[in-house]
Amino acid sequence: MINRFGSGDTWIFILLSTALFLVFFIPQLVLHINYYMKNKGDIFFYDPVGQRITINHKGESASFSFSDIELIKRFKSYPLAEDRMQWFPWDNYNYSMVRLKNGQEFIITSLLVPNMDLPIDSDKIKIMKRFYPIVQ
């Protein structure tokens, strides 16, 4: 930059580069911390043979089969849900809300399980598209 445009614009270039970096980095950092706090210390175990899931959340363990699942809401960014090119660093983040027939709900973030594509009926899965999939 200095060789081509001179040294007068160097600080403007540095400020603009830093601002642009922060515009992309801070939302991803907030999302990452949000997901980490939701599933901190959780253990997810999937048994494909028995088609059972065991979740250990905050010291309490819950085990259920696929037939116990009422609905799975998958919250994804638009590019991830539509299998398009991802433009933002947080486009790969997603989370799922698993609701059981007995009323229990579990939130599984992509930090715990990167891909929640389970072999269950497609009528039990609902895809929710978001620009910024933060856990509410």
**Virtual CA dihedral for 119, 111, 58, 134, nearest 10 degrees?**
-100
Examine residue 35 and state whether it is found in any structural domain, yes or no.
yes
Q: Look up residue 67 and give its two tokens.
A: 């037939």
- Is 117 within the bounds of a domain? yes
Report in angstroms the alpha-carbon separations of 108 from 19, 37, 80. Answer: 32, 11, 17
Domain assignment present for residue 60? The answer is no
In a domain, 18, yes or no: yes
Domain, as residue range, for 14:
7-39+69-130
How do strand 52-57 and strand 43-47 relate by DSSP bridges?
A: antiparallel
135 is a domain residue:
no
pLDDT at 97: 96
pTM across the whole model: 0.85
Query: Coil, helix or strand for 91?
Result: helix
pLDDT at 10: 79
Q: Is 73 a member of any domain? A: yes
pLDDT in tens, 67-78: 999 999 999 999
pLDDT at 77 (0 to 100): 95
What domain count does the chain have? 1
pLDDT tens for each residue of 19-30: 999 999 999 999
Whether 62 is in a domain gets the answer no
pLDDT in tens, the chain (136 residues): 667 767 777 788 889 989 999 999 999 999 999 999 999 999 999 999 999 999 998 889 999 999 999 999 999 999 999 999 999 999 999 999 999 999 999 999 999 999 888 889 999 999 999 999 999 8
What span, in angstroms and rounded, lies between the C-alpha atoms of 82 and 79? 5
Please answer whether residues 32 and 112 qualify as being in contact, where contact means their C-beta atoms are separated by less than 8 angstroms: no
